[in-house]
Chain A
Amino acid sequence: MNYSVKIIGDVARSPRLRPYIGYVCGIAAAAIYGGMAVLGKKIATDFSSPLVASSFSLFFGLIITGLLFGQGIVREATSLPKVGWVSILGAGTASAFGVSCWYLALASAPVVVVAPVVAVYPLVTISLAIIFLKDLEEVTRRTFVAAGLVVLGVILVGIGS
């Protein structure tokens, strides 16, 4: 596993291949999140309360990430500036609340309602990127149209399934 992570790291350093690795990682993350939604519905309705499910899934996620990337994490963490730590704390807190709300929503409402509502999040991300990441990335009209199409598509899939 560490070897494959190293290969991905080496390939990602190639400027020509960087975007493609980004797309592949994004699609892999989408597939994993998709599987998590199915599993999450089962866990939050059949086995445990949403808060227990979210707490333990985040806990196990921390352990697995630590085991896989432990050395790299320690190396990078020692050279991280204070603003980096604040940003990570913010991202972690947002992630924890997001996952908890997601399990709560899945436990109390049908997936057909939850999925379309959650699907609107790329529009929120793009809006925040325009406000806060002006210097780091350019949001084109093409990305906006793509986000609209995906949101519409996800809503239709949610209603139809």
Chain B
Amino acid sequence: MNFTSIRLIGASKSAVIISTSPLFAGAIAIMFSNESINVLVAIGTFFIIAGIMLVVTKR
């Protein structure tokens, strides 16, 4: 998946998207470890989604 993504959209954009994995790790931890979301996590999630939107959307 990683290499397919690199091939289709380039290494720099792919690296930005794949670096969002902690977001998914957090979601899995919340689902399976009964952890809760705090303000820092919420702000961080907003920044990550904003970054992804910048990469995915065209100007």
Q: Which residues of A contact B (CB under 8 A)?
A: 8, 12, 18-19, 21-23, 25-38, 111, 115, 119, 121-122, 125-126, 128-129, 133, 136-137, 139, 142-143, 145-161
Contacts and interface: CB of A to CB of B under 8 A. Distances in A.
Contact of B40 (A18, A125, A137, A159): A159
Interface in B31-51: 32, 35, 38-51
Contacts of B46: 153
B26 to A, nearest CB: 5
Contacts of B13: 22, 26, 143
Contacts of B38: 160
Interface residues of B, number: 48
A157 B21 contact: no
A145 B12 CA distance: 12
A27 B17 contact: yes
A133 B50 CA distance: 26
B11 A37 contact: no
A111 B28 CA distance: 14
B24 A129 contact: no
Given A25-B5, A33-B24, A34-B24, A146 B43 contact: no
A22 B14 contact: yes
